[in-house]
Structure 1
Amino acid sequence: MSTPSIQPPSTYEPLNENTVVQFVKKLNYFTEDAALQVREIGDGNLNLVFHIVDESHAKSIIVKQALPYAKVVGESWPLTLERARFESSYLQKAAEYVPNLVPKVHYYDESLGLFVMDDLSSHLILRKGTIEGIQYPHLARDIGTFVAKVTFYTSDFYLHPFEKKQLVKQFINPELCKITEDLVFTDPFFDHETNDFPTEIREAVEQLWNDSELRHEVAKLKFQFLTQAEALLHGDLHTGSIFVTPESTKVIDPEFSFFGPIGFDLGQFFANIILSYLSQEAHILSSKERKQYQSYLVDTLKQTWSSFKQEFSKLWENEGNEVYTQVPGTLESFLGKVWVDAVGFAGCEVIRRTIGLAHVADLDTIQDLTQQYQLKEKALELGTYFIKNRTQITNMEQLIQVFYQE
C-alpha cells in the first residue's frame, strides 16, 4: 500500500509514562500534590494509551495519543495525527444522542494528537468477554440503539441539507478510509503482500482469489463505501471496539469515522459476532455449554437488528424532516437496502479478519492448529456466501441458517 509522506507538527512528541504525567497535571484534573500511577496499556495497531490513576482520591483518566505511523507496521507506514480529532469529535457527536453508550471526552490537543477521556477499566473488551463465554444481556439492544440513533440524527432524513453537508466536511477522513478501502475491500481478494494466513489454507485462499463473481460483487460494495455518504459511521465497529459489563456498553475507538453507508457499521458488528460463534467450537469444550453460548450469540444478532430497525423506524416516523419520510413504503425500502448492505459488508469483514492484515483473537488463539485452519476455511466460505447471496438473504433468520448448527 502506498501512502503519502506525512510530517507531524513541530511541537509534536510521543509521550511516555513520565511526560504524560507532566501533561495531565497542567489540566488540573488531579490535585497538584496527587501521586499518580501511570501505565501504557495500548494494545491496538495505531496509538499510545495511558491509564493514569490517583488512588488516594479514587480518580482516573485515559490519555490516548495518535502516533505518526501505524504501530502494527512501523515508521514505514506514516499516518496523520488528525485521526485523534476524528475520534474525539465522533465521541462528542455520539454523546449528543447516546451519552450513556460512549466515554466522555474531557480534553483534545491538536498539536499533540491526543485527547483525554473517561477511564473504562471497570469494563472488559467485548472480544475478550466473548472468547471467555460471558453473556451481556444489554449488548444487542445497546448496539442496535447506538447505530440507529447516531446514523439517523446525522442523515438527510433528519438534518437540513446544509447542516448535513457541513458535518460531512468535518468528517472527511481520507487516510483512514483508504486503510479500509485497501484492507477490507481490496487486498484480501488479491494476492497482496499485506495478507497474512497459514500456508495450510492457501488452496482455499487461492480459490477465493480466483472467484471472478466474488470480486465483481466486492467491487460493488467497495464503490458503495466510496460514494454513499448516508450518515456518520463509527467505521470500525467490531468486538474490539466495544467495552462491556453485564450492565453497561461503551463504544470506543471511532478514529475511522466518516460518512458512509449505514449498513457498514452493522455489517462489521454482525461479522465479528459470527466469527465468535465459529470460534466457540474451540473455546468452549462442553457441547452443552457451547450450544448455549452459541444460541446467545445468535440471539445477539437477532436482537441487534431488531433493536436497530425498531429505533430507526421510530425516529423516522416521529422526527423525520425529509418530505419523503412521510411517503408510505420509503422506510421499508431504505431498511431493505441497509440490510442487504450489512450482509455484504459482513462478508467482507469475515474474510479480511481471516486472511487480511488484521486478524481476530477469536480464531488466532485456537491452539489446535488443525481446528483453527478448518474454522478459517469455514469463515472464508461464509464470507463468500454472504457477499454473493446478500440480495437473496432477506432476513436475519435466513442469515443465521447459513452457519447455525443445531
Structure 2
Amino acid sequence: MSVQVKPTYEPLNELTVLDVVKPLDFFDASEQNQLHVREIGDGNLNLVFHIESALSKKAVIVKQALPYAKVVGESWPLTLDRARIESEALIKEAESVPHLVPKVLYSDSTLAVTVMEDLSDHVILRKGLIEGQIYPKLASDIGTFAAKTAFYSSDFYLHPFEKKEQVKRFSNPELCKITEDLVFTDPFFNIETNDFPAELQSEVDVIWNDTELLKEVAQLRLSFLTKAEVLLHGDLHSGSIFVKGDSTKVIDPEFAFYGPAGFDIAHFIANLALNHLSQNAHAKEPFHRETLQTYLLETIEKTWKTYRETFTALWNEKATDPFAKIDGVLENFLEKTFQEAIGFAGCEIIRRTIGLAHVADLDSIPKKEVELFYKKTALELGVKLIKNQRKLTNITELTDWIRGA
C-alpha cells in the first residue's frame, strides 16, 4: 500500500508548475502535453506563471508567494501565509462583487499557490493611463468595489462574533509592517531605503523637519495601526487593477487586512492624482492632455460619489447596527472616512515620490528636469493633503487642489 506524501514548499519553475496544474483537470487529457508556460511576474513578492493550451487557447494563472522579497533577496523574509490571505480575500470579495475580481480556481496553502482565471485580455491600469487610455467604467467599478467590500465586512452588517473572527483570519502583520514602514514612517525620516534624486534633498529636508506635518502623519499611522473597521484590499493602487473597455478586475489583495475604511480609496485617488500630474509630460498633444486630465479628475469625483451612494444604499437596506437609524451616524462615518482618506492619499503621494517603491507615471518622464519639477509638485500636493485633510468637505474641493497642483 503506497503512502501519499504531502508536498512541501519549494519555489516553482516553468517545469514544476505543471505538476501543480495537470492534476486539477482544468485542461482536457488531449491538452496535457500541449501546455505552454511563461513566467510573467514582475513584482517583488511572487512568482506568476501563465499556462495556456496550444490546442484550445484556454489559459490559467498560477501565482506563488516567495518566502522573501525579490527586490531585496532572502535577507528580507516574508510569511507564506499571505498566499492564503490573498486567496481568501479574493473569495470574500467575490461574495459581493464577483464581476470585479478574478475567479479563484484552486489554492494550496502549503505550496503558497493560487490558481486563478487568466486576464491576459486586460492591461494594468497604470500602463493604460500612462499611455493615455480612458476607461469609462473605472470610477463606478472601483467605487462599487470599495463600498461593497467595506460594508459587508463591517460591524454595521456583520454579527460581532463573525466580524471578530474575520479580523483574526485576516491578521496580516508582516505585510502590514511593510505598509507601516514604507507609507507612514520611512519617507518622513532619513531612512536608507528612501530613494530620490539628490536634487530633491532640500524639499525632502523640509518634510523631515515639518513638525506640524509629522504630527498629522503620526495620527494617520496610528489609525492604520489600530482601526479594524473594514476588510481592505490593502494595496489598491493603479498597478493592482486590470482593465479593458468594459471590464475592471481588482487583483493582488495579499496585503488584505482589517483597517480604516478610507485607506483603499485613498490609494486609488492618490495614484490617479500622480498620473494627472505626469500627463503634463506624457501627453504630447495639448487637447488630448486636457481630455485625459479632465477624465482623471472626473474619475476621482465619480469614484467617491459611487462609494458614498453605494455604501448609503447598503446601510439603509441592510445595516444591523442598532444606531443605524439614528440621524447623522452614517453621515459622521462617511465624513471621517473621506477626510482620513485625504490624509492617507497625501502619504501615498509622498512615499511614491521619495520612498522605496516609486510609480512609473513620474519615473518614466524622459527629461530629468521635467521629472524633478513634477516630483517637487507631487511632494507639495502630498503635504497639502495631509495638513488640510479635515478642512475639505466635498470631493470637488480635492479635485480642485489636484487640478491646481
Both structures adopt the same fold (TM-score exceeding 0.5): yes
Q: Does the residue aligned with 2:219 lie in a helix, a strand or coil?
A: helix
1:369-390 per-residue CA deviation (whole Å, 9 max, x = no partner) reads 1000110011000000000000
Aligned to 1:208: 207
Aligned to 2:8: 11
Q: Which amino acid aligns with 2:24?
A: L
Q: Does the residue aligned with 2:291 lie in a helix, a strand or coil?
A: helix
Matched-pair contact (CA < 8 Å) for 1:25–1:32: no
Identity %: 59
Q: How far apart, CA to CA, are the structure 2 residues paired with 1:95 and 1:289?
A: 36
Is there any run of 5+ residues in structure 2 with no aligned partner, and where? 1-5
Aligned to 2:351: 352
Aligned residue pair count: 398
**C-alpha deviation, 1:286, in angstroms:** 1.2
Taking only aligned residues, the RMSD between alpha carbons, in angstroms, comes to: 1.1
**C-alpha deviation, 1:212, in angstroms:** 1.0
Q: How far apart, CA to CA, are the structure 2 residues paired with 1:93 and 1:143?
A: 16
**C-alpha deviation, 1:298, in angstroms:** 0.4
Q: Which amino acid aligns with 1:27?
A: L
Is there any run of 5+ residues in structure 1 with no aligned partner, and where? 1-8
Q: How far apart, CA to CA, are the structure 1 residues paired with 2:22 and 2:198?
A: 51
1:129-172 per-residue CA deviation (whole Å, 9 max, x = no partner) reads 00001000000000000000000000000001011001111000
Matched-pair contact (CA < 8 Å) for 1:66–1:81: yes
Q: Which amino acid aligns with 1:24?
A: V
Aligned to 1:403: 402
1:156-211 per-residue CA deviation (whole Å, 9 max, x = no partner) reads 00001011001111000000000000000000000001100011111111111111
The change in CA–CA distance for 1:316 and 1:302 in structure 2 (over 3 A counts) is same
Q: Does the residue aligned with 2:323 lie in a helix, a strand or coil?
A: helix
Q: Which moved more, 1:267-276 or 1:200-209?
A: 200-209
Q: Which moved more, 1:22-31 or 1:305-314?
A: 22-31
**C-alpha deviation, 1:10, in angstroms:** 8.6
Q: How far apart, CA to CA, are the structure 1 residues paired with 2:282 and 2:259?
A: 35
Q: Which amino acid aligns with 1:18?
A: L
Matched-pair contact (CA < 8 Å) for 1:46–1:71: yes
- Which runs of structure 2 are paired with 1:331-350 in the superposition (5 Å)? 331-350=330-349
1:263-295 per-residue CA deviation (whole Å, 9 max, x = no partner) reads 000100000000000000110021111011000
Aligned to 2:18: 21
Q: Does the residue aligned with 1:100 lie in a helix, a strand or coil?
A: helix
- Which runs of structure 2 are paired with 1:287-366 in the superposition (5 Å)? 287-366=286-365
Q: Which amino acid aligns with 1:28?
A: D
Q: Does the residue aligned with 2:320 lie in a helix, a strand or coil?
A: coil
Q: Does the residue aligned with 1:26 lie in a helix, a strand or coil?
A: helix
Q: How far apart, CA to CA, are the structure 1 residues paired with 2:341 and 2:24?
A: 42
Q: Does the residue aligned with 1:134 lie in a helix, a strand or coil?
A: coil
The change in CA–CA distance for 1:258 and 1:300 in structure 2 (over 3 A counts) is same
Matched-pair contact (CA < 8 Å) for 2:232–2:258: yes
Aligned to 2:156: 157
Aligned to 2:265: 266
**C-alpha deviation, 1:33, in angstroms:** 3.5
Aligned to 2:113: 114
Aligned to 2:3: none
Matched-pair contact (CA < 8 Å) for 1:313–1:331: yes
Q: How far apart, CA to CA, are the structure 1 residues paired with 2:207 and 2:376?
A: 10
Aligned to 1:245: 244
Q: Does the residue aligned with 2:253 lie in a helix, a strand or coil?
A: coil
Q: How far apart, CA to CA, are the structure 1 residues paired with 2:8 and 2:87?
A: 20
**C-alpha deviation, 1:243, in angstroms:** 0.2
When the two structures are superposed, what TM-score results if normalisation uses the length of structure 1?
Answer: 0.97
**C-alpha deviation, 1:27, in angstroms:** 1.3
**C-alpha deviation, 1:402, in angstroms:** 1.3
Q: Which amino acid aligns with 2:9?
A: Y
Matched-pair contact (CA < 8 Å) for 2:7–2:111: no
Aligned to 1:5: none
Q: Which amino acid aligns with 2:398?
A: L
Q: Does the residue aligned with 1:186 lie in a helix, a strand or coil?
A: helix
Answering whether residue 146 of structure 2 is matched by residue 137 of structure 1, we say: no
Aligned to 1:166: 165
Matched-pair contact (CA < 8 Å) for 1:82–1:110: yes
**C-alpha deviation, 1:22, in angstroms:** 2.1
Q: Which moved more, 1:14-23 or 1:243-252?
A: 14-23
Q: Which moved more, 1:134-143 or 1:16-25?
A: 16-25
**C-alpha deviation, 1:405, in angstroms:** 4.4
Q: How far apart, CA to CA, are the structure 2 residues paired with 1:36 and 1:135?
A: 34
- Which runs of structure 2 are paired with 1:379-394 in the superposition (5 Å)? 379-394=378-393
**C-alpha deviation, 1:246, in angstroms:** 1.0
Q: Does the residue aligned with 1:243 lie in a helix, a strand or coil?
A: strand
Q: Which amino acid aligns with 1:32?
A: A
Q: How far apart, CA to CA, are the structure 2 residues paired with 1:89 and 1:120?
A: 19
Q: Which moved more, 1:89-98 or 1:390-399?
A: 390-399
The partner residue of 1:32 within 1, 25, 29 is: 29
1:352-402 per-residue CA deviation (whole Å, 9 max, x = no partner) reads 010111100000011101000110011000000000000012211111111
Q: How far apart, CA to CA, are the structure 1 residues paired with 2:69 and 2:222?
A: 25
Q: How far apart, CA to CA, are the structure 1 residues paired with 2:7 and 2:207?
A: 46
Q: How far apart, CA to CA, are the structure 1 residues paired with 2:88 and 2:109?
A: 12
When the two structures are superposed, what TM-score results if normalisation uses the length of structure 2?
Answer: 0.97
Q: How far apart, CA to CA, are the structure 2 residues paired with 1:32 and 1:38?
A: 17
Q: How far apart, CA to CA, are the structure 2 residues paired with 1:140 and 1:160?
A: 30
Q: Which moved more, 1:389-398 or 1:245-254?
A: 389-398
Q: Which amino acid aligns with 1:179?
A: I
Matched-pair contact (CA < 8 Å) for 1:17–1:38: yes
Aligned to 1:219: 218
Q: Which amino acid aligns with 1:363?
A: L
